[in-house]
Amino acid sequence: MTRVAISDDAHAAVQLAVDALRRGQVVAYPTDTLYGLAVNPANGDAVSRLFALKGRPLDKAIPLIAADLDQVRDWTTMTPLAERLAASFWPGPLTLVVATRRVVDPRVLGDGGTVAIRVPDQGVARTLAAAAGCPITSTSANASGQPPTPNPDGVARTLPAVDVLVDDGVTTGGVASTIVDATGTQPILVRAGAIAWERVLESLGPASTPVVS
C-alpha cells in the first residue's frame, strides 16, 4: 500500500491516485461520510479486483461518486425527479438510483441497468472523480460484513491490499448515504441513511407520493 497525505501535497496525492485508477488499481479515499474504495467502473479487471479485495458478493451492486452534476448527467439519465432531488441535496449524502447511459461493468449495475450515484460534500472525493474523468466507485473501505470506518488508520489496518490510500484524516463518520430510487416519477426509499426520508419528501412538496421498498 502507498499512503499519501492530502496535507502534504494535495495535487500530488490526487495525481498518484488517478494514476493508480488508470492502471486498474484500487484507491481508498475520504468521502463526506466514511472512507470509500475507488476503481474505474468501466474497467472490468479493476472491478474484479475490488470485489475480491472486499470479499463482496457478486450480486451486490456498487455505488458511484461523481465530480459534479454535469458528470452525473453525462453518465446517467436524470429524470425530472432526480434533478429535483439533486438540486436539493447535492453535494451531500443522498444517493440516487438512475439509469446509466455509459457502458460500465455489469457488476456495478443494479436491476434494469441502473446505477446508484451521488455528488459528495467532500472536496477530495469530487476532485478525484474530476481528475479521473469518470465517476468512481464508492463502496465502503472495509471487508464485507465488517463495519465501515471514518479513519484512514482503520483502512490501512484492515485492507492492506489497497494499492493507494489517500489520507485526509478522520472523516465525519456517521451513517452512510440515503439511497433513493429516482427512475420514475415518485421517490422510492432503498436505504435509510444520513438524510432523513422525511426531508427527502418535504423537498418535493405535498404532491409527492412516497414508496418504501
pLDDT tens for 141-182 read 998 888 888 999 999 999 999 999 999 999 887 788 999 999
- 207 pLDDT more than 80: no
> Rounded to 10 degrees, what is the CA torsion of 184, 189, 195, 199?
70
- 183 pLDDT more than 60: yes
| Residue whose grid cell is 450480486 | 59
Q: What is the pTM of this model?
A: 0.88
Q: May I ask the CATH architecture of the domain 2-212? A: Alpha-Beta Complex (3.90)
Q: What is the rounded CA–CA span in Å between residue 149 and residue 33?
A: 9
Q: Tens digits of per-residue pLDDT, 84-119?
A: 999 999 999 999 999 999 889 999 998 888 999 999
pLDDT at residue 145, as a whole number: 85
pLDDT at residue 206, as a whole number: 74
The beta-strand segments (E) located in the chain are: 2-5, 27-30, 35-38, 64-65, 76-77, 94-100, 114-118, 136-137, 139-140, 164-167, 178-181, 188-191, 211-212
pLDDT at residue 146, as a whole number: 87
Q: What's 143's DSSP letter?
A: -
Query: Between these two residues, 8 and 67, which has the higher pLDDT value?
Result: 67
